[in-house]
């Protein structure tokens, strides 16, 4: 498995710990924010990770910023991305089971032990393939493609 990861300046130290954790668990890492500065912009990193997922260079992406909010919003602007800003293990599980999310975003202020469990849950949880979840994800994809306009 290969995972792309990036952060803005707020998550640099945490990103390095996450990379070490992934490597220890035999997961290949594509670091797309090797250089961070106090003036960097999280959308640039979100777009880079999202493109690597869409282009199938990696299976999943991980994004980190101060809150996880801005970076997840930016990633979700890339066609084909379902990025979830998660706060706990339950969120990580449900975003895979129900939404088949392909990018995980979180706040740089989360506890590292919790982050390890979040990542482990995210990458080890399969999409449910329940009809209602398939239908909902397909609506999102069709909307992205201009084939569905809602109710």
- At 7-47, the pLDDT tens digits run 999 999 999 999 999 999 999 999 999 988 888 999 999 99
Distance CA 51, CA 94 (A): 23
Residue 33 lies in domain: 2-144
Which residues contact residue 83 at a Cβ distance below 8 angstroms, ignoring those fewer than 6 apart?
46, 50, 61, 63, 72, 75, 76, 101, 102, 103, 104, 105
- Asked whether residue 88 carries a pLDDT value surpassing 80, the answer given is yes
Q: Are 33 and 61 in contact (CB under 8 A)?
A: no
If you average pLDDT over residues 52-61, what whole number do you get? 98
Residue 125 lies in a domain: yes
Greater model confidence, 151 or 8? 8
Nearest to 94 by CA among 76, 77, 111, 82: 82
Residue 31 lies in a domain: yes
- Asked whether residue 150 carries a pLDDT value surpassing 80, the answer given is no
CATH number assigned to the domain comprising residue 129: 3.40.1400.10
Cα 31 vs. chain centroid, distance in angstroms? 13
CB atoms within 10 A of CB 141: 14
Q: Which pLDDT score is estimated for 76?
A: 98
State how many domains the chain has: 1
Residue 151 lies in a domain: no
> What is the per-residue pLDDT across 89-127, written as a single tens digit (0 to 9) for each?
999 999 999 999 999 999 999 999 999 999 999 999 999
Residue 71 lies in a domain: yes
Q: Which pLDDT score is estimated for 39?
A: 87
Residue 150 lies in a domain: no
Nearest to 25 by CA among 54, 61, 1, 50: 1
Residue 129 lies in a domain: yes
Structure confidence at residue 50 as a pLDDT band (50, 70, 90):
very high
- Asked whether residue 151 carries a pLDDT value surpassing 90, the answer given is no
Residue 34 lies in a domain: yes
Q: Which pLDDT score is estimated for 119?
A: 98
Determine whether 19 is exposed, middle or buried from the number of CB atoms within 10 Å of its CB (0-12, 13-18, 19+).
middle
Residue 149 lies in a domain: no
């Amino acid at each position: 498995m290969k995972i792309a990861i990036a952060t803005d300046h707020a998550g640099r130290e945490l990103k390095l710990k996450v990379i070490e954790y992934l490597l220890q668990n035999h997961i290949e890492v594509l670091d797309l924010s090797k250089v961070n500065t106090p003036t960097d912009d999280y959308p640039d990193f979100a777009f880079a990770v999202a493109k690597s997922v869409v282009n199938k260079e990696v299976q999943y992406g991980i994004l980190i910023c101060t809150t996880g909010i801005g970076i997840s919003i930016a990633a979700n602007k890339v066609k084909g991305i379902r990025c979830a800003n998660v706060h706990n293990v339950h969120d990580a599980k449900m975003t895979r089971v129900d939404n088949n999310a392909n990018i995980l975003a979180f706040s740089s202020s989360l506890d590292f032990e919790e982050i390890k469990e979040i990542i482990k849950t995210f990458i080890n949880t399969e999409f449910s393939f329940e009809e209602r979840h398939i239908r909902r994800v397909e609506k999102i994809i069709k909307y992205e493609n201009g084939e569905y306009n809602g109710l």
